[in-house]
Amino acid sequence: MNFFDTAVSFLSLAIKFSTVFLFGATGEIINQKSGHLNMGTPGIMYFGALGGVLGERIYIMCTPAEMPLNSVLIVLIPVLFAIIFGAFGGLIFSFFTVTLHCNQNVTGLTLTTLGVGVSCLFISGMPMDRMAEAGLQMQSAFPGYKSLGWFGEIFLSQSWFTYLGIVIAIATAIIISKTKVGLNLRAVGENAAAADSAGINVNAYRYIATIIGGAIAGIGGAFYELDKTKGMFNIADGIDAFGWLALCIVIFSMWKPLIAIFASFGFACLSILPSFVSGNDYITYGLKILPYLATLLVLIITSIINSKKAQAPASLGVTYFREDR
Amino acid sequence: MVSPPALLITFMENIRFENITKIFGSIVANNNVSFSIDTGEVFCILGENGSGKTTLLNVLAGIYKQDEGRVYINEKEVNINSPKDAYAHKIGMVHQHFKLVNVFTAFENISLGSKTKYTVQQVVDLCNKYGFKLDPNKRVYDMSVSEKQTLEIVKTLFRGVDTLILDEPTAVLTPQEIAHLFDIIRNMKKDGKTIVIITHKLNEVMEISDRIAILRKGEYITTVKTSETNEKQLAELMVGHKIDLNIHRSKIPTTGVRLHIENLSAVNRDGEIAIKDISFDLYGSEILGIAGISGSGQKELLETIAGLNKETSGSIIFTNPKKEQPVTFFHKNIKQIRELASQGKFHLKDGSPCDLTNKSNKEVIEMVNNEEIIFYEDEIIDLKYKKPIEIRDLGIKLSFVPEDRLGMGLVGSMDLIDNMMLRSFRKGHAGLLDRRKPAALAQKIVDELEVKTPNIHTQVKKLSGGNIQKILVGRELSSRPKILMTAYPVRGLDINSSYLIYNLLDEQKKKGTSIIFVGEDLDVLMALCDRLLVLSNGHISGIVDPTKVSKEEIGLLMTRG
């Protein structure tokens, strides 16, 4: 394998990996724009993974053994399940923080622990037959990509999930910055009291934003579980690691989904680098530190820049209760 | 005068509160409040801090929901559950703490949450109609306090309100800005709007209002016509008994320069330049007032002197008036005394030079206690780059009563004794704490300043703002400061406590303390202070004698440059 081929397959894999980050980051951006610092995102991605695997199982079980799996349904059904499960995670978070006025950090961390535990328990108990076949089915959205050389290999070899992720990120960016709903959402996250006194239903915005954000993050978890591990559960390489890095990508991209697309790609490159570098264990494990080192670096840089426009939403992490004195 | 027909009376009456009661935990904020506000009048709600003015109007604006009672608009009972409902009844409120989104432009803040789409031109038209000065494209974080308030009012008017509630609208404005605001209020009144103003400032009430409702400790007292009352009567209604509204300014000669500040510049915690090129002298036995629009560098100036901020240039020279005074352990420890003696700073009582090298500690202690060791000259110390603890170790008695009492002054969750120990925990034996002296001090403060507390073991945060402030001021004064710096010491206090604090400051002045007093109420500053330093945008725009200038002149200085 020459260098060129290696580079092409590296980039192709990086894009695939970045999809997981992107779903997580986009979901979290929507959360945070509403003022919810949802540290439950890693757990919610696990919920999504559970939903995705469950959806795929149900589809496989309903398909006779001799029939081939439909390449559209094999994506659509798990995605729907992932959305429902992820949204459920967001609903739990909102219920605790908005309705019960719980601390957001505590709620988020609890949700992550819960999500990891519950999903591990159920996914590991699921039968594995035809999962690998299903995984192959959803590999690429455009089967003809090979005729387009390196361009096709990198950009068109991806599954529907990747393109969906980019579309969702762009749509989110437009909604947040160009529409009235986006303006209201930003106001809720910046100054909930101001939004409330302007007649915006703060609680509704926070509930809905968190549920939608959870649903999007959930798709990311499902994609990772179905595409990369093909239903084979591997706890050492958990989804929560993606979730935590997604939280960092949100800060790095300054709460802008468009930047998050590229930030996700960057973090994906760092994450897969170890498997492309041959060497002893020290080098491999050393390289695995890179994404986390980058996280620290990002925090340092953003605290130095400290520009007024690239700040976190001002009410981030603050639970709003109108009658608070 | 012919009384108007009955029909007209019902038409005139706009808003009526009936038996409104609102309870927060164990605190009754409003108790059975009933009165009415007429259409098209400027109506003031007058009361001390904590009398329930804001709570009551928050019920009308949909922020709070009353526990009991009813609100009527045009004789129809209404149910206002949210600010949105309030807008539906054409009621809008400008809160004391502005509810604006900092990163949004003025126009974005105005169009926030509204169904109809506005254009920038509409905003400009409305501003011209009432005389507002507002740039629709300016972001809120670039705005001055007065601009933010203008934006809040415009925002509310855009919702088509007929009743506008203003909560303490003049608290942070200069005299000129207040005059402009009152012009606007008169314009709105001409336009048929009802204006409700929450305030505790008597002179402004007299100037702008048609009628005044007075609240005291959550209870409704009465409503009076402005034309039929005066400031004295209003003050008595507010407080419930006769009070002396005069601030004492003792005329005593100042002693020499205590603090000499030259070309001082400093940055704030975000690294932005907060004060630049500040030069002034502070004398003994004087109160130097600092006036300025909030955020002009008052806080940073005090923090820089106290050693909490980083100086970038300039000097802070402190003169300790020690010439021919005996050295005491109150200011110096034995090690410092030995060191100063070796530098030849002392002489003995009989005039002979002081040599302590061959003396044992016991002998030195005895000499100090017998006041045998005398300073040759005043001590002159440069405070630049010194941290608070270093300043204290030098024996400099510098006290700072900060703006943020529970944030910087006291620890809310600790009791009175422990809060006393924040100042003295380094004294006493190593290892174990000695609680007796702080307990005695706490008890002394409680007795002398009439602090209302169950006992000295009560958590400070459970006390009212006035009592918390008394404890803080009491503790700082107990260290017999040479320099006392205080920022907004009466913020949130009732009238009685405020005057008690003013008098305490004046007493301290008589004892020779140099006092720097940062205030927001120009009337108080002008009545209490011997000199007034006006800050504008981080630099000094003038140092004036408050008996020789007018409020308007000071207002101009506040906005210059």
CA distance B323 to B380: 11
- The answer as to whether B15 is a domain residue is yes
Tell me the sheet residues that pair with B15: B37, B73
- The answer as to whether B248 is a domain residue is no
Q: Which of A91-95, B84-88, B93-97 has the highest mean pLDDT?
A: A91-95
- Chain segment B284-312, per-residue pLDDT in tens: 899 999 998 888 888 889 888 888 887 77
What residue in A sits closest to B58 (Cα-Cα)? A323
Q: What does DSSP assign to residue B460? A: G
B151 CA: distance to closest CA in chain A (Å): 13
B155 sits in which H/E element? helix B145-158
Beta strands in chain A (DSSP E): none
Whether B514 and B553 share a structural domain:
yes
B102 CA: distance to closest CA in chain A (Å): 8
Flag if B113 and A311 touch (Cβ within 8 Å): no
Q: Which residues 180-209 of A are in CB contact (within 8 Å) with B? A: 183-184, 186-187, 190-191, 193-201
A101 CA: distance to closest CA in chain B (Å): 17
Among A180, A186, A183, A195, CA closest to A320: A195
Per-residue pLDDT band at B156 (split at 50, 70, 90): very high
Flag if B113 and A195 touch (Cβ within 8 Å): yes
Per the CB < 8 A criterion, the answer to whether B356 and B338 are in contact is yes
Mutation target among A197, A323, A324, A325 for the B interface, most CBs of B within 10 A: A197
Q: Does A309 touch chain B (CB under 8 A)?
A: yes
Give me the residue from B64, B83, B104 closest to A197, CB to CB.
Answer: B83
- Chain segment B476-516, per-residue pLDDT in tens: 888 888 889 998 888 777 787 788 889 889 988 998 899 99
B467 CA: distance to closest CA in chain A (Å): 19
Whether B187 and B336 share a structural domain:
no
CA distance A303 to B523: 42
Beta pairing, strands B483-487 & B373-375: unpaired
- The answer as to whether B30 is a domain residue is yes
Q: Please give the tally of structural domains in chain A.
A: 1
CA distance B139 to A170: 26
Flag if B64 and A308 touch (Cβ within 8 Å): no
Average pLDDT, chain B: 86
- Chain segment B320-365, per-residue pLDDT in tens: 777 777 887 766 777 888 888 888 788 888 878 877 778 888 888 8
Residue numbers in A near B108 (CB within 8 A): 183
What residue in A sits closest to B98 (Cα-Cα)? A194
Per the CB < 8 A criterion, the answer to whether A207 and A94 are in contact is yes
B163 CA: distance to closest CA in chain A (Å): 15
Any idea what the CATH number is for the domain that residue B279 is in?
3.40.50.300
Query: Over 70: is that where the pLDDT of B107 sits?
Result: yes
Whether B452 and B530 share a structural domain:
yes
- Final residue belonging to a domain, choices B377, B401, B424: B377
Mean pLDDT of B206-210: 94
First to last CA, chain A: 67
Query: Over 60: is that where the pLDDT of B8 sits?
Result: no
Q: In what order do the strands lie in the sheet with B514-518?
A: B398-401, B483-487, B514-518, B286-291, B531-536, B539-544
Q: Say what the pLDDT of residue B110 is.
A: 92
Flag if A199 and B83 touch (Cβ within 8 Å): yes
Whether B215 and B348 share a structural domain:
no
Residue type, B529: C
Query: Over 80: is that where the pLDDT of B249 sits?
Result: yes
Q: Does A307 touch chain B (CB under 8 A)?
A: no
CA distance B428 to B257: 34
Whether B213 and B315 share a structural domain:
no
Per-residue pLDDT band at B108 (split at 50, 70, 90): very high
Among A266, A322, A273, CA closest to A297: A266
Among A1, A128, A113, A105, CA closest to A47: A113
Residue numbers in A near B95 (CB within 8 A): 197
CA–CA distances in Å: residue A93 to residues A36, A37, B237: 9, 10, 50
What residue in B sits closest to A205 (Cα-Cα)? B113
How long is chain B?
Answer: 561
A308 CA: distance to closest CA in chain B (Å): 8
Per the CB < 8 A criterion, the answer to whether A19 and A225 are in contact is no
Per the CB < 8 A criterion, the answer to whether B162 and B193 are in contact is yes
Q: Say what the pLDDT of residue B170 is.
A: 87
Flag if A311 and B103 touch (Cβ within 8 Å): yes
Q: Say what the pLDDT of residue A177 is.
A: 92
CA distance A234 to A232: 6
Q: Please give the tally of structural domains in chain B.
A: 3
- The answer as to whether B507 is a domain residue is yes
What residue in A sits closest to B157 (Cα-Cα)? A198
Write the CB contacts of A38 (distance below 8 Å, at least 6 apart in sequence): A28, A31, A32, A44, A90, A93, A104, A108, A111, A210, A213, A214
Q: Say what the pLDDT of residue A307 is.
A: 67
Can you tell me whether residue B454 is helix, strand or coil? coil
Per the CB < 8 A criterion, the answer to whether B240 and B215 are in contact is no
Query: Over 70: is that where the pLDDT of B9 sits?
Result: no
Give me the residue from A186, A193, A314 closest to B99, CB to CB.
Answer: A193
Q: Say what the pLDDT of residue B44 is.
A: 95
Domain range for B422:
255-319+382-559
Q: What is the ipTM of this complex?
A: 0.83
Residue numbers in A near B87 (CB within 8 A): 199
- Chain segment B392-403, per-residue pLDDT in tens: 777 777 888 877
- The answer as to whether B246 is a domain residue is no
Q: Computed from CA positions of residues A190, A195, A200, A204, in that sequence, does the dihedral angle turn out positive or negative? A: positive
Whether B389 and B519 share a structural domain:
yes
Residue type, A273: L
Residue B459: CB atoms within 10 A of its CB come to 15
Flag if B102 and A199 touch (Cβ within 8 Å): no
Flag if B63 and A200 touch (Cβ within 8 Å): no
**Residue A232 token pair:** 């084979």
A325 CA: distance to closest CA in chain B (Å): 9
CA distance B216 to B237: 8
Residue numbers in A near B24 (CB within 8 A): 325
Flag if A186 and B104 touch (Cβ within 8 Å): yes
Residue numbers in A near B113 (CB within 8 A): 184, 187, 195, 198-200
Residue numbers in A near B63 (CB within 8 A): 197, 322-323
Any idea what the CATH number is for the domain that residue A214 is in?
1.10.3470
Q: Say what the pLDDT of residue A271 is.
A: 87
Residue numbers in A near B141 (CB within 8 A): 308
Give me the residue from B61, B83, B103 closest to A190, CB to CB.
Answer: B103
Instruction: Collect the ranges in chain A with pLDDT lower than 50.
Output: 231, 233, 235-236
CA distance A110 to B288: 55
Domain range for A37:
3-324
Whether B231 and B291 share a structural domain:
no
